[in-house]
A and B are shown apart, each in its own frame.
Chain A
Amino acid sequence: MAEYAGKPIGVESIAAYEREFGEKATEWAAILSENAEALKSGRYSLHWLDPKDSGWGRRARPSSRGLTYADVNQLPQSGELPKTATWLNFAPRGSIREPYRERMPVVESYTVLDRDELWADNVITLYEEAKARQWNATRDIPWSELERLPDDLEKATCQLCTFLTEVEFVAGDFPAKWLYRIPQDFLEVKSFLSTQIMDEARHQEVFRKRAFAGGGLLHSAPGFEWALKAILDAPTHTMGTFLLNLLGEGLVLSIFRSGEMIAKTHVDKEIFRRCLQDEARHVSYGVLELKNSLDHAPDHEAAIEELHRFADVGELVILSAFSEPALVEPLAVLLGGGLAKIDQGMEGMAKLWEMFIAEYLQRCDRAGFARDERCKIPKQAIWAK
């Protein structure tokens, strides 16, 4: 028998579905009956021809790059972004929906109702940019040029790709977890998060392919897993976005930049360069989403303190991934230029660490979250002398 969430999908769950739509929520049946009767009798409603007071009639005009959300949002009839969402169904913002409210269902999954748990001032720009800068891991990487590397460098590359394959899709799963909780009125945010999911699917794909093109995947690691779980289990969207987009993806962005720098083939350079562009978009959303949330918090001091408490834990769990030998050592081997030069690579890694943390703290500052004095991640690498 098939299972869902550990429970058998069988007679009971189907019976529950039947009760829900057959006995409890029966409004749809009344609507079907009325509609069918009207259609049978040949009566037309044509109510949809009446724009009422919607403002229908003003036409959206494309800007130089096409018709963007920003262009459409200039029209008054496109509907205002609500501070708190009250439409908990799929009726589009800007449609004539009020007359039908009472007969529409409530989607109970929509629980993130506060704009300031989601919004970022750059989200529309980032959505347009994300669409325009999509790439294809099958076609846009010159796979046929991939050169065979010495064994130590190939294994280091494959291990780095294993790490990236393991961690990348949390940045897809996390927005996916929240996406269906976000009402349709926040369509711009939902659209951007959808691109992030696509980006992460592509990253997972490209690193998996790179590993197999070099011999295969190598070791997963428990430290990675705990960091990913800490992201996925974040109590709020803003906290999780801080941990994922600002800290986690900020660090992965640094790894991509390092990956491009230490890449031993043009193929690997291209992979890392493409990925770092996507990652930087996600980081930008994370910074301004956090800023918006803190700027509009009803009790700013309390919001900051809560975030500090969350970061006190989150930073250390993330550190568990970034201290794993399955990550640090292959990076050092690639940076040093071979297994025999791993010590030199570790010295270089210590410099990179300082840069990673400095950039993280700058981004926190930019978001209005002064984290410098409470940061739990050491500002110098654990192994630095």
Chain B
Amino acid sequence: MSRGDRVPFPSLAWFAKLGERMNADRVRHEHLGYVDCTVEFAVRDAYGPGRPLRAQVTFEEFAAVDVREAGPADAGRADFTLEADAKAWREMIESIARGKGRPALDQTLNYLSHFDSPFRVCAADPLKRDLYFRYNQSLQEFVNASAQLETTFDRRG
């Protein structure tokens, strides 16, 4: 496993790199199965108080096919939002890196979001919220791929 890419967090580039890693590891994602949803990964206060980074990643079949920073025109485009402050994101990312792609027991996506804190899953439609559960293993492995990056925390992370 190479950790050649230095990528700052929070940044759209960081999520784009995860998308690239996912697409490069197609065999693994074919094994896990289809993932069809648009997820908005939100890092609260990424750009300062009240200024979040909202990275929308569209998954189709076994790939991340679109990664963009959500603007006003993208409101309502995501099936659900997974949001946390930069500190919680950083702890999770560092845990994944320490575990070489496997987070500590208390740093999995489901663990962190189960009580709506420090991560929170938001969706207006409960069926769309359930997509988070239907694809949970794929989404976990999507973020686990951050172990292959050298994440730098040079802003509020």
Which A residues are closer than 8 A to B by beta carbons?
A: 64-65, 122, 125, 128-129, 132-134, 253, 257-258, 260-261, 263-266, 269, 272-274, 276-277, 279-281, 283-284, 287-288, 351, 359, 362-363, 365-366
Name the residue among B32, B114, B125 with the largest chain A CB count within 10 angstroms: B114
Find B105's partner among A258, A269, A365, A366 (CB 8 Å cutoff). A269
Residue numbers in A under 8 Å from B130 (CB-CB): 280, 283-284
Residue numbers in B under 8 Å from A253 (CB-CB): 133
CB pair A277–B105 under 8 Å, yes or no, is no
Residue numbers in A under 8 Å from B134 (CB-CB): 129, 133, 277, 280-281, 284
For this complex, 23 residue pairs linking A to B, each with C-beta atoms less than 8 Å apart, are A64-B61, A125-B36, A132-B34, A133-B134, A257-B114, A257-B133, A260-B108, A260-B114, A261-B110, A261-B114, A263-B105, A266-B102, A269-B108, A273-B108, A273-B110, A277-B136, A279-B133, A280-B134, A281-B134, A284-B130, A288-B127, A363-B126, A365-B126
Given A274-B137, A277-B133, are A287 and B110 also a contact pair (CB < 8 Å)? Answer: no
A376–B140 alpha-carbon span in the complex (Å):
36
In the complex, besides A129-B36, A261-B114, 9 extra interface pairs with C-beta distance below 8 angstroms are: A258-B114, A263-B105, A269-B105, A273-B136, A276-B136, A280-B130, A280-B134, A284-B127, A284-B134
CB pair B135–A266 under 8 Å, yes or no, is no
CB pair A134–B33 under 8 Å, yes or no, is yes
Closest to A125 in B: B36
The number of chain B residues with a CB under 8 A from chain A is 23
CB pair A257–B110 under 8 Å, yes or no, is yes
Residue numbers in A under 8 Å from B36 (CB-CB): 125, 129
Residue numbers in A under 8 Å from B136 (CB-CB): 273, 276-277
Closest to B132 in A: A280
Residue numbers in B under 8 Å from A273 (CB-CB): 108, 110, 136-137, 140
CB pair B111–A287 under 8 Å, yes or no, is no
Find A133's partner among B33, B105, B110, B140 (CB 8 Å cutoff). B33
Closest to A283 in B: B130
Closest to A287 in B: B127
CB distance from A365 to the nearest CB of B (A): 8
CB pair B126–A366 under 8 Å, yes or no, is yes
Interface of A is mostly: helix
Find B133's partner among A65, A269, A280, A351 (CB 8 Å cutoff). A280
Residue numbers in A under 8 Å from B111 (CB-CB): 260-261
CB pair A65–B61 under 8 Å, yes or no, is yes
Residue numbers in A under 8 Å from B137 (CB-CB): 273-274, 277
Closest to A130 in B: B33
Going nearest first, the 7 A-B pairs with the smallest beta carbon separation are: A133-B33, A280-B133, A132-B33, A280-B134, A132-B34, A362-B126, A261-B114
Given A133-B33, A277-B135, A281-B134, are A260 and B110 also a contact pair (CB < 8 Å)? Answer: yes
A188–B102 alpha-carbon span in the complex (Å):
38
A279–B136 alpha-carbon span in the complex (Å):
11
Residue numbers in A under 8 Å from B34 (CB-CB): 65, 128-129, 132-133
Q: Chain B 23-63 against A: per-residue CB contact (8 Å), 1 yes, 0 no?
A: 00000000011101000000000000000000000000100
A260–B140 alpha-carbon span in the complex (Å):
12
Residue numbers in A under 8 Å from B32 (CB-CB): 133
Residue numbers in A under 8 Å from B33 (CB-CB): 129, 132-134
Residue numbers in B under 8 Å from A362 (CB-CB): 126
Name the residue among A258, A276, A280, A287 with the largest chain B CB count within 10 angstroms: A280
Closest to B140 in A: A273
Q: Chain B 65-104 against A: per-residue CB contact (8 Å), 1 yes, 0 no?
A: 0000000000000000000000000000000000000100
Closest to A253 in B: B133
CB distance from B34 to the nearest CB of A (A): 4
A287–B128 alpha-carbon span in the complex (Å):
12
CB pair B127–A366 under 8 Å, yes or no, is yes
Closest to A272 in B: B110
Residue numbers in A under 8 Å from B105 (CB-CB): 263-266, 269
A132–B35 alpha-carbon span in the complex (Å):
9
Residue numbers in A under 8 Å from B131 (CB-CB): 280
A105–B128 alpha-carbon span in the complex (Å):
44
A362–B126 alpha-carbon span in the complex (Å):
7
Closest to A276 in B: B133
CB distance from A153 to the nearest CB of B (A): 12
Residue numbers in B under 8 Å from A366 (CB-CB): 125-127
* Interface members, chain B 113-128 (any A CB < 8 Å): 114-115, 125-127
